[in-house]
Chain A
Amino acid sequence: MNCEAISEVVNIGIGQAGDKLARLLSCFVRISTPRLRIVDVDGAQAVLAHVCSEAQVIVTRQAFSSQIRGEVLTVFDTTSRDLVAELVHYPTTDPDEMILEISNLIVATCLSGIGAQISYELSFSPPSILDVVREGGLALDRSWRVALIAELALQVEDRPFRARLFMFWADDALETFQRAAERLFGDDP
């Protein structure tokens, strides 16, 4: 599968998302060029299980719906969690509420940015924290065949804050995404 068109859409979408986040947080936000992988279930397990099994990480999940529906995992290390409070002026003392807030801000902005490129308005589920440690690792759904995982890292200037996003589209949603992206950037007319 050729991901060039999707890659283009994702790049532009998150570029705009980075600008929006920077304005909201009043600091420079850098988002890495996404790394795209086409995977089957075992491939996804290999990519994600490794990340989620690292010590000292907090993982949140969030779903987005529309014809290009999918799910996002956001991975923070604990250092970053402790830094969120000074980054986001969100009035809470609950560390979980804080991490869910920053997670939603990043995910919703990035995905909305991507959706906007191909004229899909996305709707989101509330984010939740995945207790990967207590559940003994990440167990994936196995009812899909092929998927795209787009991985990107978000960093904030002058601070060691770092979040990694793993955006996931499978089967039909991936095909729809691919068609929509190719309409914009495909070689074929």
Chain B
Amino acid sequence: VIHADALVDRLHAGVVAVDRDLMVAAWNVFMTTHTGKPARDVVGTDLRLACPDAPAEWLAWKVRTVFELGTQAFSSWRQRPYVIRMPHNRPLTGGIDCMRQDLTFLPVFDRSGAVAQVCIVITDATDVAMAELAVARSHAATVREHAAREQLEAQLRLAHTAAMGQLAAGVAHELNTPMQFIGDSVQFALDSATELIGFAAKLPDDGSAQDVTILVDDLPIALRRAIDGVERVSRIVRSLRVFAQPQNGGSAVVDVNAAIENTLVLAASEYRSVADVALDLTPVRQVACLADEINVVLLNLIVNAARAITDAFALTGTRGVLGVRSRQLAGSVEIAISDTGAGIPADAVERVFDLAAAAAPAGKPTGLGLAMARAVVEKHGGRLWFETGDAGTTFYLDLPTSFASAAAPA
């Protein structure tokens, strides 16, 4: 017959018994091999003296609760990596400083049913701990990779926007000359037609006067309409050239009001059919900034406002108002762009400036999300924020008029 003590000595777990005063009554072989202290040195001494590194007060509380309640107590490596420091069982493969331990404090009852001793069982949780650590590390790596990919995508979007800007500037430049001679030629045609109509009036009537009268009435109207169209195209081309003018990384002095008007011309297709523009531009000082970047921010805010109104229009069928206001503050210019849409939903308010939310829905590229817009504005020492409610959303853009000095520390 094998004695129970011999079995306890075969366990791959530490077994320690203590009395109410934490005097050690039993100490198995696992404890000896892992602490280097033989049972004969430890049994009969205070556990807190035998293991001076262990948390004394904590051990006393645990043992006390088991004595008083007569139930088990526990400790997990997750909250308390170890109680009695022991070497881990990976001298070759390593990867951790010392053994992770789970502890169980068991009541040992005497014949009368009273708690006589507390049996402390220490189990080795190192392998579980390392597995969890590996999972956590791999998760952290995934999160990092995801963040890096998002940043790369944002940079690509920005690069794409810059490339489109250059392309637009090139096209605008190429269109400018032909638009000029089309305009000149149509004007010449109108002047000539007016003269010819004068001559025609002096010719004798041979019965085809009816046809000539129609020509005389309609030709100048058609030509004037052509001139009007040419002027509108020229205006868009001019706006596009100003908007997309290539920058060499340096800041330029920008007339904010002119920039707003240009941007409204370019974005007209986004709002014309659903909203009227309420423009309230007051004279403001010029702002030194990276003009192309600020132009894109304005375009984003105006397009966003237009889309909010478009969504509301789809529901109500009522035209909205796209408000654009500028005013001079003490050290900055404030631009407010408001819409009469349905407002930003409460659950989305927190995420408006999130990079992740910058991904525009398919087919509706905004070029630059609000996250990037805010980054651009903050780079200029300015602020971008919003107020939203049932009656719509207003984005405020505050650009310091002293940017040139503030942003030139290098």
Per-residue CB contact flags for chain B residues 27-65 toward chain A (1 = under 8 Å, else 0) read 000000000000000000000000000010110010011
Complex Cα spacing A142 to B57, Å:
43
Binding stretch for chain B, among A122-130, A149-157, A166-174 = A122-130
Binding stretch for chain A, among B10-18, B70-78, B383-391 = B70-78
- A104 and B61 within 8 A (CB): no
> Which chain B residues lie closer than 8 Å to A90 at the CB level?
58, 61
Among A91, A100, A105, contact of B79 (Cβ-Cβ < 8 Å):
A100
Complex Cα spacing A94 to B72, Å:
20
Q: How many residues of B contact A (CB 8 A)?
A: 20
Q: Least Cβ distance of A88 to chain B in Å? A: 8
Is the CB of B104 closer than 8 A to any CB of chain A?
yes
Residue of A nearest to B80 (CB): A97
Complex Cα spacing A97 to B61, Å:
13
> Which chain B residues lie closer than 8 Å to A96 at the CB level?
78-79
- A126 and B102 within 8 A (CB): yes
Given A24-B69, A109-B71, the answer on whether A126 and B58 have CB atoms closer than 8 Å is: no
Q: Least Cβ distance of B217 to chain A in Å? A: 74
Q: Least Cβ distance of B199 to chain A in Å? A: 86
Among A20, A112, A123, contact of B68 (Cβ-Cβ < 8 Å):
A20
- A133-186 contacts to B, CB under 8 A, are none
- A49-99 contacts to B, CB under 8 A, are 89-92, 94, 96-97
A contact residues, range: 20 to 34
Residue of B nearest to A99 (CB): B79
Q: Least Cβ distance of B136 to chain A in Å? A: 14
Complex Cα spacing A112 to B70, Å:
8
- B68 and A23 within 8 A (CB): yes
Q: Least Cβ distance of B102 to chain A in Å? A: 7
Given A100-B79, A126-B74, A126-B76, the answer on whether A91 and B69 have CB atoms closer than 8 Å is: no
Residue of B nearest to A23 (CB): B68
Among A20, A89, A108, contact of B72 (Cβ-Cβ < 8 Å):
A108
Residue of B nearest to A127 (CB): B74
Q: Least Cβ distance of B69 to chain A in Å? A: 5
- B69 and A105 within 8 A (CB): yes
- B69 and A20 within 8 A (CB): yes
- A91 and B55 within 8 A (CB): yes
Given A100-B76, A100-B79, A112-B70, the answer on whether A24 and B65 have CB atoms closer than 8 Å is: yes
Among B64, B70, B71, B76, the most chain A Cβ lie within 10 Å of the Cβ of B71
Residue of A nearest to B57 (CB): A91
> Which chain A residues lie closer than 8 Å to B73 at the CB level?
101, 104-105, 108
Among B68, B73, B74, B80, the most chain A Cβ lie within 10 Å of the Cβ of B74
Complex Cα spacing A96 to B75, Å:
11
> Which chain B residues lie closer than 8 Å to A91 at the CB level?
55, 57-58, 61
Complex Cα spacing A124 to B71, Å:
9
Given A24-B68, A91-B58, A126-B102, the answer on whether A100 and B74 have CB atoms closer than 8 Å is: yes
Residue of B nearest to A96 (CB): B79
> Which chain A residues lie closer than 8 Å to B65 at the CB level?
24, 105
- B79 and A126 within 8 A (CB): no
Q: Least Cβ distance of B214 to chain A in Å? A: 75
Residue of A nearest to B67 (CB): A24
Complex Cα spacing A112 to B69, Å:
9
Among A97, A100, A109, contact of B69 (Cβ-Cβ < 8 Å):
A109
Q: Least Cβ distance of A182 to chain B in Å? A: 25
> Which chain A residues lie closer than 8 Å to B104 at the CB level?
126
> Which chain A residues lie closer than 8 Å to B80 at the CB level?
92, 94, 97
Complex Cα spacing A105 to B64, Å:
12
25 pairs, CB–CB < 8 Å, chain A vs chain B? A20-B68, A21-B69, A24-B64, A89-B61, A90-B58, A90-B61, A91-B57, A92-B58, A92-B79, A92-B80, A94-B80, A96-B78, A96-B79, A97-B75, A100-B74, A104-B74, A105-B65, A105-B73, A108-B73, A112-B69, A112-B71, A124-B71, A124-B72, A126-B102, A128-B76
Given A91-B55, A92-B80, A108-B72, 7 more pairs with CB closer than 8 A: A92-B58, A94-B80, A96-B78, A100-B79, A112-B71, A124-B72, A126-B102
Give the 8 A-B CB pairs with smallest separation, nearest first.
Answer: A108-B71, A97-B79, A126-B74, A91-B57, A94-B79, A91-B58, A112-B71, A24-B68
